[in-house]
Amino acid sequence: MAPVCIGRKSRLALVCGLVAAVLSLAKPNISWPATSERIVVNRNTGLAIDGYDPVAYFTDGSAKPGRSELEINVSGAVWRFVNEGNRAAFEADPEIYTPQFGGYDPIAIARGASTAGHPQVWMVFGQRLYLFYNAEARSAFAADPNKARGEADEMWPRVLLTLAP
C-alpha cells in the first residue's frame, strides 16, 4: 500500500479537529460566574453568590453554603439559605442582604470594571455586604472603606450600563 501524503494545511486541519474532539469530550467541573448581569450569578447553576447564604454573613459572621431545599428566586437569581429564619429575613428585605454592587468587587467597580467577587472573600461594612475578587482587594477596601465605597458608588452607574438588565 502506498503511503498517504497529507499537505501542511490538511495536517493542521486534522490536528485542530482532533484537539477540538478531545476538548468537546472533556467536561471540566468549573463554574464561572456571569459577569454581564446586574447580580453575579453562576451561569451553570443560576445561584447567586455560589449558593452561599447572604444572611449568614450578618447573623453568623461567616460564609455558609445554603441548602437546596431552602432557596428562593429574587431578582432573576436563586438564593440559598441555611435555615428558614434566614430565608424569611431575606424575603422581607432583600435589599439589606444582597451584596452591594450585585456581588461585584467594589475595588474593581471603582476602576470601572465588573469583576465578580468571591463569596469567601467578604466584609460587612456600614451594615452592607461586600464581596471581593481576592484578599488584596479586600485589604485595599479595608484600608479606607469610606473612600473605597465612595469611589465605587461614583463609578457604579457607568458600570451598570455595561451589564444586562
Among residues 60, 56, 88, the alpha carbon closest in space to that of 74 is found at: 88
Residue 120 lies in a domain: yes
Give CA–CA dist 85/2, Å, rounded. 76
Each residue of 125-146: pLDDT tens digit?
999 999 999 999 999 999 999 9
Domain of 56, in residue numbers = 49-160
Categorize the per-residue pLDDT at 76 as very low, low, confident or very high, splitting at 50, 70 and 90: confident
φ, ψ at 113 (rounded to 5°) = -115, 145
Each residue of 12-54: pLDDT tens digit?
444 444 434 433 333 333 333 444 478 999 989 999 999 999 9
Residue 13 lies in a domain: no
Residue 7 lies in a domain: no
Helix locations, 31-165, DSSP H? 56-59, 84-92, 94-97, 106-110, 135-143, 145-160
Give CA–CA dist 41/35, Å, rounded. 8
Q: Are the C-beta atoms of 86 and 53 separated by less than 8 Å?
A: yes
pTM over 0.85: no
